C-alpha cells in the first residue's frame, strides 16, 4: 500500500482510515476476477455490498487494481487508457479543496467507457469510440454506467451522488459520498482545463473481501 499512499502527499486522512477492499467482479469478457481498491474504512462494508450487487447483476468492469492506479498517476499519458476502476486518490480540485477521492469516499468506474465531459473537453478520451454519446434508450454498452441501471441503483441506495446527474458537466464514471451539507461540489479536478465548479443538490489498511 506504500506506493499508493505516501506521507509526502500530505493527504487529509491518515492511512489507518483507509482499507484495501477486494471485491469479486466480472471483467469485460464476463470472467470473475478479484479486484483491489483503496477506500475509506468507514465506507468499506457498504461499498462491498454495492460491488456485490454489481457482480450479481452481471455488470462488467475491465480492471480494478490499486497498483495500476499508482502507475497511471506517475505517467498520466501512459495510464490514460488503462480503464481502471479506482477509489482513493490524493488530489485537490481547482478550487483548492480536497476531492472526495482524497478521503476514500469516491469511486470512478470504467473511466474510459464513462468519461468526464465538460463542453468539448473529454477525459479520458478513447481514440476511436465517442463514449460521450450516451444511449438514452435500449441496452447500455458493456461497462457503461446508465441511469436506472445496476450501478446507479446500487449507489443511489447508499445515497451517493453520481456525476452523470450533473447539469452542464458530466462525469459518468464518478460516484461520491455526500459531504456534511448534503450537497456536492462538482469536481473539476486536475484534468479539467475549462469551466467553473457548480453546485448540485444531493440525489437521493488491511484487506476486506467483498465477494
- pLDDT for 95 equals 79
- The domain spans of the chain are 17-200
pLDDT in tens, the chain (211 residues): 333 455 445 788 888 999 999 999 999 999 999 999 999 999 999 999 999 999 999 999 999 998 766 555 545 555 556 789 999 988 888 778 888 998 999 999 999 999 999 988 898 888 888 898 887 666 889 999 999 899 999 999 999 999 999 988 999 999 999 875 444 544 544 344 333 233 233 333 444 455 5
Q: Tell me 144's DSSP state.
A: -
Q: What pTM was computed for the model?
A: 0.81
- pLDDT for 188 equals 47
Integer Cα distance of 2 and 207 in angstroms: 14
Which residues touch 119 (CB under 8 Å, ≥6 apart)?
168, 194, 195
- pLDDT for 199 equals 29
- pLDDT for 113 equals 95
Beta strands in the chain (DSSP E): 18-26, 32-34, 37-40, 106-108, 116-118, 121-123, 161-163, 169-176, 183-185, 199-201, 207-210
Integer Cα distance of 45 and 27 in angstroms: 22
Amino acid at each position: 500500500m506504500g506506493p499508493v499512499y505516501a506521507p509526502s502527499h500530505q493527504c487529509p486522512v491518515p492511512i489507518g482510515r483507509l482499507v484495501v477492499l477486494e471485491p469479486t467482479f466480472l471483467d469485460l469478457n464476463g470472467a470473475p476476477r478479484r479486484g483491489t481498491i483503496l477506500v475509506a474504512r468507514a465506507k468499506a462494508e457498504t461499498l462491498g455490498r454495492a460491488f456485490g450487487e454489481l457482480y450479481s447483476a452481471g455488470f462488467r468492469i475491465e480492471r480494478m487494481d490499486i497498483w495500476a492506479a499508482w502507475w497511471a498517476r506517475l505517467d498520466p499519458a501512459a495510464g490514460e487508457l488503462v480503464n481502471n476502476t479506482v477509489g482513493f486518490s490524493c488530489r485537490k480540485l481547482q478550487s483548492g479543496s480536497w476531492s472526495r477521492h482524497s478521503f476514500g469516499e469516491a469511486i470512478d468506474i470504467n473511466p474510459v467507457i464513462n468519461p468526464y465531459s465538460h463542453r468539448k473537453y473529454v477525459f479520458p478520451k478513447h481514440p476511436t469510440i465517442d463514449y460521450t454519446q450516451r444511449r438514452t434508450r435500449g441496452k447500455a454498452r458493456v461497462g457503461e454506467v446508465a441511469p436506472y441501471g445496476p450501478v446507479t441503483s446500487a449507489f443511489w441506495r447508499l445515497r451517493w451522488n453520481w456525476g452523470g446527474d450533473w447539469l452542464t458537466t458530466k462525469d459518468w464514471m464518478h460516484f461520491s459520498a455526500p459531504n456534511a451539507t448534503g450537497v456536492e461540489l462538482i469536481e473539476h479536478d486536475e484534468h479539467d482545463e475549462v469551466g467553473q465548479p457548480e453546485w448540485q443538490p444531493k440525489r437521493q489498511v488491511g484487506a476486506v473481501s467483498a465477494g
